[in-house]
Structure 1
Amino acid sequence: MFDIGFLELLVCGVIALLVLGPERLPAAARAAGRWIGGARRMVSQFTSELDSQLKADELRKELREAGDVGLDDVQKTVRGALDEAKKYEHMIRSDKPVGKSETDKQTVSDQSPQDDASADSLESEPALQDPAQAPSDKPS
């Protein structure tokens, strides 16, 4: 940082000894050491804070760039999925009532007589669609 060699430090030490004297020189050296240590800590904190702010700015810039590119990809994907869903929209909005298909009828006829009896009993029982409509044992 400063281009100070050993000879310059020795000259400064001799001058300080002559000016301050041997009684006050140790106290002055301790005070100078504390001041230099505080200055070094302050400079290191400043540089670390500056580095962290620069890194944060770089990250924000990268996120903005990635967000702009990523947003376009997401929009394309969503549009593609919506277009694909519209192709099959006619299957969902069918006005025809859903009945048994030919394969379902054939499967029922291939069942054994036991299965026919159980299938008949299942078809004869009404299916409850809403649990609120279920008959309860408690009188109202």
Structure 2
Amino acid sequence: MNLTGRRARPVPPVFQPEVAARAIYFAATHRRRQVWVGWSTAKAILANRFAPGLLDRYLARAGYRGQITGEPLPPDAPSNLYTPVPGDYGAHGRFDDEARARSLEMFTDRHRSAAIAATICAFGCGVLWVWRRNRR
């Protein structure tokens, strides 16, 4: 249960900023119109293709709530609302411990030909295994 008394939903993964930087660099240096970085991105894109209105209503209801936490800010937390925070805070924050440094979707998108070949090979091996098993 979370603070509202509801069951907690699975949280989509958080990625390190370097994952986004690699995706941006890859998109800028290759002839791709789209680069899908995470599974949550793939789900959102596919859902938008099949039911855009339903996805809009869901995100309006759940998108804001998913960004809110019950964890209070420390009283000495810096604020960058009106001016930059002094010092070098870098791109990593409080989610650094749970953030993923790699994305399987980004890897398969960057190596699309190899991923397709591996999938076809695995499917062929599966068909061959079933065929041999039924032949006995």
User: TM-score, length-normalised on structure 2?
Assistant: 0.23
Structure with larger RCO (C-alpha < 8 A, sep 6+): 2
User: TM-score, length-normalised on structure 1?
Assistant: 0.22
Flag the structure with larger Rg: 1
